[in-house]
Every structure is written in structure tokens, then in C-alpha cells.
Chains A and B, each alone.
Chain A
Amino acid sequence: MNETSAPATPQSQEQAQSPEEQVYQPTSQARLIWHRFLRHKLGVLGGVTIAFLVLIFLFAEFVSPYNYHKSHYAYPYVPPMLGRIHFDGLRPYVYGLIKKNVYVEYGGVRNRLPGVLRYAENRSQKYPIKFFVHGDKYQLFGFIPTDIHLFGTGEPPNSPGQFFLFGTDSQGYDIFSQTLFGGRVSLSIGPIVILISFLFGTLLGGFSGYLGGVADTLIQRFLEIFMSLPRLALLLAIAGILAHLGNIPAMVRYWSIVGVLALVNWAPLARVIRGQFLALRNSEYTQAAQAIGAGDLRVIFRHIMPNIMSYLVVAATLAVPDIIILESILSFLGYGIQDPLISWGMLLHSFEGSGFNFQMQFHAWLLLPAAFIVVTVLAFNFMGDALRDAVDPYTVAEVKEGAL
């Protein structure tokens, strides 16, 4: 992606020489990659999806109709109200909620089904859904105090006029708001972990590939041992220890999860980087740089790194979904993010263990956050695939398998 790499590629030279292209300025490598990327419809779609998600998660307080941490005790297990939006001309409104118990007849006796509720609409109460409505107070970006939400009914929490887009859970938390806030953790943890893994991977993989010889062998054996550890089981064991440490602040927990995820993930990345370094170490321009007396660090950072940067970006993008999945597995099992932070995997926690049958049968909408995991993972995969083709349509096909 760096402009210094442009002279080394045959494409840019060809373009400068071919007659049709001469009216244009020579194109930089970054621009070429960008144009090739734009040709991939699915890749662009993935990129746009990620950008959109990042945007709404940044403004989660504003987009979500409720404070995600405020419980509506009076309205647990409300089904999604997505299908209960009515229209008065163009103005949307919802009816008031009426809570009803569910009864089952068994052996002639009518019994209340515990833990299951049904909600009916009270047709006599109309609550218009307003935009830019005053609701729960919050601080946008942590310092702008306001109470304006993108949409909502603007009713107090005990009023029947609530608008739970994705329904509520057992405590009456609004799933939609929780999903938005969960996205912050789930989406941020992937790139952060990959960044840290890459710093380590580049350091160790780079030295291993560049120095070669005994250092290379030693580092390679070390990586091999690391890669013969069962990744998820190790992750769970460490996260289990962390979880049993007792009450640590949620942010400390967040960063410890980041650390653990980076710890079990950097080794394969180091292998990819080592392979790249090994390939470029003997290239003509590296030798030329060494011949004019450039030091090792200069060769690494000025000559090799810019040339493998695009490979690194591709490998990083393709590695992000894995981290998102691992984090959601950890949180799903209850060893990940902890209250008051929230993540998508944590929202699925009620389906873990023997209670899943009951939850699936009566409260299946609690699975909605899983859709967000799938969409995010798909978006990253699409974008990564397109980037891979864009960076180098011929030789980069092995980047993801480079860890072999």
C-alpha cells in the first residue's frame, strides 16, 4: 500500500508505457489496489456493512431507544415488536402492551406455565413512535450530556407504551439496545487483538525470517510448540482462571480477554510474516540496500515492511472474524466479557446448558444477536477476500493458507 513499492511492480511500469495510459499520471500502488477492490461488489458490500455497523455502534447511545442497562421490570420477555408497528398514514405507532400469563391444561388441571408470558395489544392506547425523542439521559462520547434518542415512544419505563424492537429478556432489558452496545465490544475486540498479535508476530516472525539460521530454527520450534497447543481449550482454561479471580473491573477483564486472545493467536500470524520475510530477504532490492551499507533495521523497516504491508493488511482482515468468533464463544460460555460491559456472545448465554430447550421453545428471539455475529463475520470475510484479490490477483491466493 506504500507508494515506495510502486516502482518494484511490473503493472505500474506497463501502465506508464502503454499508449492509452500516457494521458494519465502514473498510478500509485495504493490507488491500483483501491480500484481493483472497488470492482468486487461483495467486498464493497462487506466494507460498507462494517462501516455502517461501526457508525451505529459509535453512536449506540443515540441510536438505541433505551439505556441498555435499564431494566423494565414490568415487561420481561416481550417478543420483538418489529411486526407490531402500525401506520397511521405515514406515522408509525405501537399499541400499549397487556401482559398475560400462559396456562396449560394437564390432567384436567389448569396450571400457570412458569416463566412464560404472552403480550397482547391494547387497541385503545396508541403510542406514536417519535424521532429525536427525549428519553433516558446519557453522555454522548462520554462528555456531551443529552437525552435525545433516534427513535422511541418517549414514555416512562412503567408505561405500557414501550417500543422494544428486538423484544426484551428475562429482566426486561431491551435486546436492541443491548445488541448495539454489545457490538462495541464484539467489533472492537477483533481489530485490537489482531493489532497486538501482529506487533508480536512481526517482531518474532520478521526476525526469524530475516536473520535465518539458528535464530530462525529456534523461533520456528517455539512457534511449532505454540501451535500444537489446543487453542480453544487453552483459551477456556486461562479465561476460566481469570473468571474465578473474583470481581475485577469490567475494563480490566476486557483487556485481559484481549491479552489472552492475542496470546493464543499470534503464532500462526508470525508464521505468515516469517514466510514473507524469507521470500523478500534474498530479493534484489534488499541485496542492493545491503550492498550500499544499509543497516538491518533500515532494510527491515524501509525496504521489506512497505512491501509486505499489503499482505499484512489482507492477512489481518481475514484473521479478524476468527477473533470475533472466539470472543463470542468465550462470552457464550460465560468466561468472556462481564457486566456492565456486554457482547453478542454474552447475550446468547441463556442458551448454554440444559436450559436451551425451554429458551428455544418460548424465547427464540433472544437468538437475534447471533445474526449480528454472522453478518459481521461474513462482512469481514467478503472484504478480506476482495482485498486479497485486489492486493495481488495472482500470488496472494495463499495468504490465508500461508499458516500451513
Chain B
Amino acid sequence: MPSFIARRFLYMLPILLVVTFIIFLLMYFQPGNAVDKLCGLACPKELRAQLIAHYGLNKPMLVQYFNWLKGVVTQLDFGYSTSYQGPALQALLGENRWLYTLLVLSASMLISWLIAVPIGIYSATHKYSIADHTFTLLGFLGLSIPNFILGLLFLWLVVGVFHLGSINHFFQVGGFLNPGLMGKPWNLTVVLNFLWHFLPPVFIIGAASMAAIIRYMRGSLLDVLGMEYVQTARAKGLRERVVIWKHAVRNAINPLISMLGFWVPYLMEGALIIAVVFNLPQIEKTFIQAIENRDNPVVMSGLFVFSVILLLGNLAADILLAISDPKIRYE
């Protein structure tokens, strides 16, 4: 197993190398350069030439790329962020933003599985009941309503319809905490307020994958329940609960795990757009702001970090699959 993980991990490196090249190309071919930004439009010609030479912007493209790559590999140096007045990666990840992003991503994945798998099992074991039809319909809606609209809808309900924020200041929206509670030590109110701000985005981000998991879990379990070994288990007098959970579910869940890697990108896209809608202080929010401000080093480091998260997510999915599915040999 460790050798499988190591090989799979090493396999990521060439992909990541090409990704850095694509990111570099994107910024290289962009009109205007860092010197224009530093020196302004009324820049004297000699100073401009001097600055360009100083930053090596007159060198061939590949040389520039390798210089940049050297900085990235040796010291994670993506350049200097003009709008944050500091190293780009620091600007992107700083102030616990990386923690929030990680928290939101993992929580939405966890919650969608914790809720969707039991619902899928219930739907399969109570096929064509009213609850099953309701869940199927809800699942279809969850898959079809884009999550930024789901987010807007939630905000509209809270702010425009029920006016929760004006009834009780506790129920303000946007950010991870009410402005008044920021920087206070953790107590019950702060924790509850954090959950009020944290859970709705997490549910909304997870909605699409939740719907998909319900659908696949139901289908997969229905397939398995028709198998002969389930019939055998029932025939030898096992309790229904044991038949379902021990014999059927454990086999039905495998195909879902293989799709885990497929859902990671969607989860990240959801987190990106929801961070904007809910004004959440995550990496994604800084990334969007950097695009707005043309802060290229931050945009580049953002693309790189997202690629790394994506690749690590796929890696985790592969490892989980290797653990859960005996058919996959990893020697």
C-alpha cells in the first residue's frame, strides 16, 4: 500500500509541472506587464527599460518560465502581490483563509455523504413509496438548480422574506461571524453564530453531490438487492437489518467511492462561487478579488493551489478506492 501511494503521488508531479507551465503561459501572453503596473503610464523610457531588464522581462519566454519555476519550487515564491504588499502565496492563504477553505470543502463533502447515503438506502429499501418519490424529486432539483442560485435563494429567504437579521441581530448573513463577534474568545454564542454562518454555505455547496449520491446509492443498492447472495442471506434467516447493512450496502457503496474523485472538482466550483455569494473570507474570495485587481501573482498562485487541491482530492479518492475495492491491485 505505501508503495502504491508513493507511486500515485509521484505521478502527480509531471502533471503539476505542465499545469505550472499553462498557468505561466496564461499570464505571459496577457497584454501589459508588471512594470507597467509598477511604474505607471507616464513612465520614462530609460527607467522602464531598466526595470524590464532588472526583472528579466526581456529574456526569452522559457528562461522566464524557468526562473519563475525555480522560485516556486525552492521557496514557494509566486511573486510580489501589489495589492496586498507582500508575497503572493501569503496574500492568498493568510489570515486563516486556507483553513476556512479546507474546512468548507471537507465539511460539505462529509455532510453530503452523511445525509445522502442513509437517504439513498431508505429510498432503495422503500422503493416507490411517497418518501422515495419525494427524495427523487428533491434530488433532481438539487442537481438542476445551480448552487449560486440556491445561495441567492437562501439569502433572499433570510433577508427578504423572513427579515431574520432585523428581528434578531444574531441572524445576520455574510462572512463566517457577525462583525460584532469577530475577535471575541470562543463561547457558546460565538460557536452558534459560527454554525449559523457556516452550515448554510456548506449545505448549498454539498447540494449537488448530495443529490447525485442519493441517486447512485439508490440505483446501486437496488442492483445489489436483486443479487443472489442477498437472497441467500435472507433465506438463512438473517435479520433484515443485517442483510441490508452488512451484505448489501457494503457492496453497493463501492461504485460510489470510485466517483468521489469525479465530484471533487464540482465541490470546488461550488465553493468558489458560494464564497463570493456569501462573502466568505476564503482563498476563493481573495482569488476573485485578485482577478478584479489584476494582481497576477496572486491569480497564478491561486490557480496553482486549486490544481494542487484538485490533484490531492483525486489522489485521496484513488487511495480510498484501493482500500475499499479488493478488485484493485496496488502492488
> Which of B18, B149, B311 is in CB contact (< 8 Å) with A374?
B149
Question: B277 — which chain A residues lie within 8 A by C-beta?
Answer: 351-352, 356
> Which of A225, A357, A381 is in CB contact (< 8 Å) with B19?
A225
Tell me if A124 counts as interface (CB < 8 A to partner B): no
> Which of B31, B141, B268, B291 is in CB contact (< 8 Å) with A236?
B291
Which residues 276-299 of B sit at the A interface, judged by CB distance below 8 A? 276-277, 279, 287-288, 291-292, 294, 299
Instruction: Determine how close the nearest CB of chain A comes to the CB of B209; give it in whole angstroms.
Output: 13
Give complex CA distance A290, B174 in Å. 63
B26 touches A224 (CB 8 A): no
Give complex CA distance A231, B314 in Å. 15
B19 touches A244 (CB 8 A): no
Number of chain A residues close to chain B: CB under 8 A: 43
Question: A367 — which chain B residues lie within 8 A by C-beta?
Answer: 152-153, 156
Instruction: Determine how close the nearest CB of chain A comes to the CB of B323; give it in whole angstroms.
Output: 19
The A interface is mostly helix, strand or loop, or mixed, namely helix
> Which of A228, A360, A377 is in CB contact (< 8 Å) with B146?
A377
A228 touches B269 (CB 8 A): no
B307 touches A229 (CB 8 A): yes
A373 touches B152 (CB 8 A): no
> Which of A240, A325, A357 is in CB contact (< 8 Å) with B299?
A240
B15 touches A233 (CB 8 A): no
User: Which of A131-139, A156-164, A328-336 lies at the binding interface?
Assistant: A328-336
Tell me if B61 counts as interface (CB < 8 A to partner A): no
B269 touches A240 (CB 8 A): no
How many residues of B sit at the interface, in one of the four size bands? 35 or more
Evaluate whether A329 and B15 lie within 8 angstroms (CB atoms) in the complex, with A229-B307, A357-B174 already known. no
Instruction: Determine how close the nearest CB of chain B comes to the CB of A333; give it in whole angstroms.
Output: 7
Tell me if A19 counts as interface (CB < 8 A to partner B): no
Tell me if A353 counts as interface (CB < 8 A to partner B): yes
Tell me if B189 counts as interface (CB < 8 A to partner A): no
The B interface is mostly helix, strand or loop, or mixed, namely helix
A237 touches B299 (CB 8 A): yes
User: Which of B97-105, B114-122, B258-266 lies at the binding interface?
Assistant: B258-266
Task: Output the residue of A230, A351, A356, A403 with the most chain B CB within 10 A.
Answer: A230
A245 touches B31 (CB 8 A): yes
Give complex CA distance A332, B288 in Å. 12
**Residue in A closest to B269 when the chains form the complex, CB atoms:** A232
Tell me if B71 counts as interface (CB < 8 A to partner A): no
Which residues 205-249 of B sit at the A interface, judged by CB distance below 8 A? none
- Chain B 77-115 near chain A by CB (<8 Å), digits 1 or 0: 000000000000000000000000000000000000000
- Chain A 220-242 near chain B by CB (<8 Å), digits 1 or 0: 00001100111111101110110
- Chain A 364-403 near chain B by CB (<8 Å), digits 1 or 0: 1001001001100110010000000000000000000101
Tell me if A404 counts as interface (CB < 8 A to partner B): yes
> Which of B22, B273, B291, B310 is in CB contact (< 8 Å) with A329?
B273
Evaluate whether A231 and B159 lie within 8 angstroms (CB atoms) in the complex, with A225-B19, A374-B145 already known. no
Give complex CA distance A328, B145 in Å. 12
B279 touches A353 (CB 8 A): yes
Give complex CA distance A22, B303 in Å. 62
> Which of B141, B143, B310 is in CB contact (< 8 Å) with A228?
B310
A377 touches B144 (CB 8 A): yes
Give complex CA distance A367, B306 in Å. 30
- Chain B 121-143 near chain A by CB (<8 Å), digits 1 or 0: 00000000000000000001101
Question: A403 — which chain B residues lie within 8 A by C-beta?
Answer: 262
Evaluate whether A229 and B276 lie within 8 angstroms (CB atoms) in the complex, with A241-B30, A373-B146, A381-B143 already known. no
**Residue in A closest to B292 when the chains form the complex, CB atoms:** A240
> Which of B22, B149, B269 is in CB contact (< 8 Å) with A370?
B149
B156 touches A360 (CB 8 A): yes
> Which of B18, B159, B276, B307 is in CB contact (< 8 Å) with A230?
B307
Q: A240-B294, A325-B146, A374-B144 given; name 14 further pairs at CB < 8 Å.
A: A225-B15, A232-B268, A232-B269, A233-B306, A321-B144, A329-B148, A356-B174, A357-B159, A360-B156, A364-B160, A377-B144, A377-B146, A378-B140, A403-B262
9 sample A-B contacts, Cβ–Cβ < 8 Å, listed by A number? A232-B269, A236-B287, A321-B144, A348-B152, A353-B276, A354-B174, A356-B152, A378-B144, A403-B262
Residues of A participating in the B interface, judged by any CB pair closer than 8 Å: 224-225, 228-234, 236-238, 240-241, 244-245, 321, 325, 328-329, 332-333, 335, 348, 351-354, 356-357, 360-361, 364, 367, 370, 373-374, 377-378, 381, 401, 403-404
| 9 tightest Cβ-Cβ pairs between the two chains A and B | A240-B291, A230-B306, A360-B159, A364-B160, A232-B269, A325-B146, A360-B160, A378-B144, A370-B149
